[in-house]
């Protein structure tokens, strides 16, 4: 406890805390979009409960990842490698989890796009069932764990255990996660309502999730140092992805404003 008090007495600790909170919120935007689309399948009276439950369980899962830091670091070590005349690579536990998460996100996003464009007649009149609640929550938490890998590893790299000690560093990271989730919980309702009441925004959000799922698959290939015909798969800068998302949203907001003026 004394070590934690001493840590928060340091100005650098507060800078690290604010940076991590910002990072967690930015990286959590993907979660809010996915959570909004998934909870829209629930009955209206269950959607708010679904968002809060999903975010709380995701928060505990992320904290558990932090406390399992030694296991997490082991997952970055190679499990096996393979080499042939045209392909080679080294596979780690982290790469496997990110790859499976990317495939899962691609599957869910493409399925949702298909259902929006070509809904089956028998599904049109089916109301959301309450027994789907925990299935949807489990999917939200599972995908959050995949999204959490980058943020947890980044947090560990940013907050030095040698500078603040184990207890101090863990206190900073846990506090950042809790505050970031509380902020996301506050904004999840308005974001979900906005996404679900605007079909074009919902389709755009699903397109973003497809893009992010593809990015996760390529990131797993990069982590595995996958080489095809002598050329290694490079890293995709996440800044390009986020810029494309922000730019697309800006264009869509302008379109919405123009449509609103024409309707008047």
Q: Yes or no: say if 67 and 148 are a contact pair by the CB < 8 Å rule.
A: no
pTM: 0.63
Residues 6+ away with beta carbon under 8 Å from 208: 30, 33, 245, 248
- Listed residue (103, 119, 124) closest to 216, CA to CA: 103
| Distance separating alpha carbons of residues 217 and 69, to the nearest angstrom | 23
pLDDT at 23: 67
DSSP string computed for 115-151: HHHS--HHHHTPPPPGGGHHHHHHHHHHHHHHHHHHH
pLDDT at 161: 59
pLDDT at 95: 83
- What kind and span of H or E run contains 200? helix 199-223
Q: Where are the domains of the chain?
A: 2-77+89-263
pLDDT at 150: 62
Give me the sheet containing 87-92, strands edge to edge.
78-83, 87-92, 227-228, 231-232
pLDDT at 264: 67
| Distance separating alpha carbons of residues 151 and 157, to the nearest angstrom | 10
pLDDT at 217: 86
Residues 6+ away with beta carbon under 8 Å from 161: 169
| Distance separating alpha carbons of residues 165 and 8, to the nearest angstrom | 12
Tokens of 145: 């764990």
* Cα distances (Å, whole numbers) of residue 170 to 24, 26, 46, 163, 222: 15, 20, 34, 12, 29
Q: Running along the chain, 264 residues long, what does each successive block of 10 average in pLDDT? A: 71 77 70 78 82 86 77 76 87 82 81 73 46 79 73 63 70 85 82 74 77 83 86 78 78 83 75
Q: Is 185 exposed, middle or buried (0-12, 13-18, 19+ CB in 10 A)?
A: middle
pLDDT at 128: 45
């Amino acid at each position: 406890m004394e070590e934690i008090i001493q840590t928060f007495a340091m100005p650098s600790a507060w800078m690290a805390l604010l940076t991590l909170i910002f990072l967690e919120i930015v990286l959590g935007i993907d979660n809010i979009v996915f959570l909004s689309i998934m909870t829209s399948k629930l009955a209206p009276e269950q959607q708010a409960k679904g968002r809060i439950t999903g975010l709380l369980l995701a928060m505990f899962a992320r904290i558990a990842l932090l406390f399992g830091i030694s296991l997490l670091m082991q997952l970055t070590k190679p499990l096996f490698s393979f080499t042939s005349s045209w392909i080679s690579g080294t596979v780690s536990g982290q790469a496997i989890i990110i790859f499976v998460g990317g495939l899962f996100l691609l599957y869910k996003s493409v399925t949702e796009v298909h259902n929006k464009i070509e809904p089956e007649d028998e599904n049109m009149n089916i109301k959301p069932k309450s027994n789907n609640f925990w299935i949807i929550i489990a999917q939200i938490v599972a995908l959050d764990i995949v999204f959490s890998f980058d943020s947890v590893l980044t947090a560990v790299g940013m907050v030095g255990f040698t500078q603040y000690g184990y207890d101090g560093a863990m206190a900073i990271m846990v506090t950042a996660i809790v505050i970031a989730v509380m902020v996301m919980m506050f904004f999840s309702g308005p974001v979900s309502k906005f996404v679900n009441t605007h079909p074009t925004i919902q389709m755009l959000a699903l397109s973003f999730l497809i893009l992010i799922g593809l990015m996760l698959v390529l990131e797993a290939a990069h982590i595995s140092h996958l080489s095809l015909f002598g050329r290694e798969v490079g890293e995709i800068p996440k800044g390009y992805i986020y810029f494309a998302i922000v730019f697309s949203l800006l264009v869509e907001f302008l379109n919405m404003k123009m449509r609103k003026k024409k309707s008047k």
